Amino acid sequence: MDKILRIDMGAKGGPKASEAELGDYAGMGGRGLTSAIVSREVPPLCHPLSADNKLVIAPGLLSGTIAANSGRISIGCKSPLTGGIKESNAGGQAAQVLARLGYAAIVLEGEPGDDNLYKVVINKDGVKIEADNSLKMLGNYDLIDKIKEAYGEKVACISIGPAGEMKLTAASIACTDMEQRPTRHAGRGGVGAVMGAKGVKVIVLDDAGMKMRPPKDPEKFKEANKVWVEGLRKHPVTGEGLPAYGTNVLTNVVNEAGALPTRNFRFGRFEGASKVSGETEAEIETARGGMATHGCHAGCVIRCSGVYHDKDGHYMTKQPEYETIWAHGAHCEIDDLDAIAMMDRLEDDYGLDTIEMGVTIGLAMEAGLAEFGDAEAAINLVKEVGKGTPLGRVLGSGAAVTGQVYGLEKVPVVKKQALPAYDPRAVQGIGVTYATSTMGADHTAGYAVTANVLQVGGNVDPLKPEGQIELSRNLQVATAVIDSLGMCLFIAFATLDQPETFQALVDMVNAFYGLSLNDEDVVDLGKSILTSEREFNKKAGFTAADDRLPEFFKKDSLPPHNVTFEVKDEELDSVFNW
């Protein structure tokens, strides 16, 4: 993992690959590397769909090793949705396989001068780039079926669906899971549109003949990983809640907390919550022969994923995540899990961010295009995107555009990115993260739900402004590091609560790379990543005015706690003062 593969899609005579040492980027991985390349090499004022933008795909520093849960892949660029820097990461097999192929990053550059759609195949023998227009407008599922036929059952794929080809700003990039299903998405910020603008449909990664990456100190590494695994297994969230019910374990918890945004952020509790909860979901999955517990990539010991079958017992989609369930569920007042699973399936197939899409469907309801609660109408709205109709293109452009096109006033976005599944009035810490994250509204960027609701890593009253800045700041710093290691964010629960688990993670990095980092070094790494991202955004025109929630969160109080967002603007502006 000491090379960067650059593919110039606009090279004379057709796309051309070249490899180089890491050079200035040595020691970087995942989000640290994608953000470094974007902030150093992409002109902040370029059009995100232009030749000047770059799509950087980087496994984490520990990906491709035996370290448990190190399978996240970071995808970075200038976002066509937010206009700022973007790193969106996904699970699945791609990170491990790409890392074992020896690449710290693939960088797609330039833009093809023709209308061809390209396929990139990388294996131990090198890189092949070929036009394959038979792939045009294929859904991710059909695409992967074709790839399987040609390249077998073991390759990992990174691909876009029709949404990415249409360059829609809610387009995601799909990564295949262990069963070669295109279900793990780098969802946020329209990264799929940038891949579409580069003319690349799919990157096929084949690590046959390649080995697990070797640590500098194999013994210490193995030992640290053992403590690491034990830590993840013994924490109640990663050892019990997540495996049993998946991320959707949160529906009942957040609903109970009065923080489940319902009917486009009007209420904090949803009547139909129990019908779409993780508990109900697991029951249905088990009853229909799906799976309630499943890992999205080899080496995962949390196994928060699952497999969702239809009523006839046939595979429909991976277990829809909490955010997906919320966006299509409470936000739209839909309490029908099968309908939500169908939308999840369609969105994975078209290649769309399920958060952005669910929020957008709720806005379409707000605009009168469908009734709140009408599941069939919601499914049909998603299908519009697949058909590429004008309405579909609007919806596929996300919440901010849909709000503008339909003249809506209540549009829950920050930096034009749709808010996720926690109302910032009832979880004020996550409100700070939504407002200030370099990424736009993003729960994963500093998941303050931990101390606000779950009582993990401390306990900060979710309804009050006190303590939220520090909480969000610390989590944003820590997350930047986690996203650089290739670690699944869920490891945070155990590392926040169990000092020895955190230490095991540091030990793994040190043993793998022959380093002697301490806590402070880790914090510094996180800060430096955030600083480079903030610098890019500043040059792209972002100011403190962009670090704000929509005004209605300050004005309209949220039942049942009847709270508004109380963190002051000046406090928000202090998040990155260190």
Which residues of the chain form contacts with a second copy (CB under 8 A)? 43-47, 49-50, 52, 80, 166-169, 193, 196-197, 389-391, 393-394, 397, 401, 404-409, 411, 538-546, 548, 550-552
Q: How far is the CB of 270 from a second copy (least distance, A)?
A: 25
Asked if 87 and 186 touch (Cβ cutoff 8 Å), the reply is: no
Asked if 174 and 296 touch (Cβ cutoff 8 Å), the reply is: no
Q: How far is the CB of 94 from a second copy (least distance, A)?
A: 25
Query: Which pair of tokens denotes residue 92?
Result: 């699945």
Q: Among residues 466, 472, 461, which one has the least CA distance to residue 426?
A: 461
Helix, strand or coil, per DSSP, at residue 195: helix
Residue 352 DSSP class: B
Q: How far is the CB of 540 from a second copy (least distance, A)?
A: 6
Asked if 97 and 205 touch (Cβ cutoff 8 Å), the reply is: yes
Distance CA 236, CA 250 (A): 14
Which residue lies nearer to a second copy by CB, 172 or 479? 172
Which residue lies nearer to a second copy by CB, 167 or 303? 167
Which residue lies nearer to a second copy by CB, 411 or 485? 411
Q: How far is the CB of 479 from a second copy (least distance, A)?
A: 25
Q: How far is the CB of 564 from a second copy (least distance, A)?
A: 15
Cα–Cα distances in angstroms (integers) from residue 236 to residues 244, 251, 494, 496, in the given order? 11, 17, 9, 13
User: Residue 305 pairs with which residues in a beta bridge?
Assistant: 294
Distance CA 481, CA 155 (A): 28
Helix, strand or coil, per DSSP, at residue 299: coil
Which residue lies nearer to a second copy by CB, 79 or 468? 79
Contacts 24+ apart (CB under 8 A), 213-219: 213/1, 213/64, 213/65, 213/99, 213/100, 213/512, 215/65, 215/511, 215/512, 216/511, 216/512, 216/513, 216/514, 217/511, 217/512, 217/514, 218/511
Distance CA 380, CA 393 (A): 13
Which residue lies nearer to a second copy by CB, 49 or 451? 49
Which residue lies nearer to a second copy by CB, 52 or 223? 52
Asked if 417 and 439 touch (Cβ cutoff 8 Å), the reply is: yes
Q: How far is the CB of 135 from a second copy (least distance, A)?
A: 18
Q: How far is the CB of 410 from a second copy (least distance, A)?
A: 8
Q: How far is the CB of 122 from a second copy (least distance, A)?
A: 27
Q: How far is the CB of 34 from a second copy (least distance, A)?
A: 22
Run of H or E residues at 316: strand 315-318
Which residue lies nearer to a second copy by CB, 214 or 407? 407
Distance CA 102, CA 81 (A): 31
Q: How far is the CB of 117 from a second copy (least distance, A)?
A: 14
Query: Which pair of tokens denotes residue 148?
Result: 């399987």
Which amino acid does the sequence have at 147? I
Query: Which pair of tokens denotes residue 231?
Result: 């830590």
Which residue lies nearer to a second copy by CB, 71 or 412? 412
456-465 in b/e form (b: 16+ CB < 10 A) is: bbeebebbeb
Which residue lies nearer to a second copy by CB, 171 or 454? 171
Provide φ and ψ at 334, rounded to 5°: -105, 130
Helix, strand or coil, per DSSP, at residue 319: coil
Q: How far is the CB of 551 from a second copy (least distance, A)?
A: 6
Q: How far is the CB of 536 from a second copy (least distance, A)?
A: 11
Q: How far is the CB of 65 from a second copy (least distance, A)?
A: 38
Query: Which pair of tokens denotes residue 91?
Result: 């699970």
SS3 content of the chain, % helix, strand, coil (to 5): 45, 15, 40
Which residue lies nearer to a second copy by CB, 189 or 457? 189
Paired sense of beta strands 305-309 and 417-418, if any:
unpaired
Q: How far is the CB of 405 from a second copy (least distance, A)?
A: 5
Which residue lies nearer to a second copy by CB, 300 or 435? 435
Contacts of 532 (CB under 8 A, 6+ apart): 35, 36, 39
User: Residue 262 pairs with which residues in a beta bridge?
Assistant: 267
Sign of CA dihedral 573, 523, 498, 279: positive
Which residue lies nearer to a second copy by CB, 122 or 168? 168
Asked if 307 and 318 touch (Cβ cutoff 8 Å), the reply is: yes
Helix, strand or coil, per DSSP, at residue 284: helix
Which residue lies nearer to a second copy by CB, 6 or 415? 415
Which residue lies nearer to a second copy by CB, 260 or 549? 549
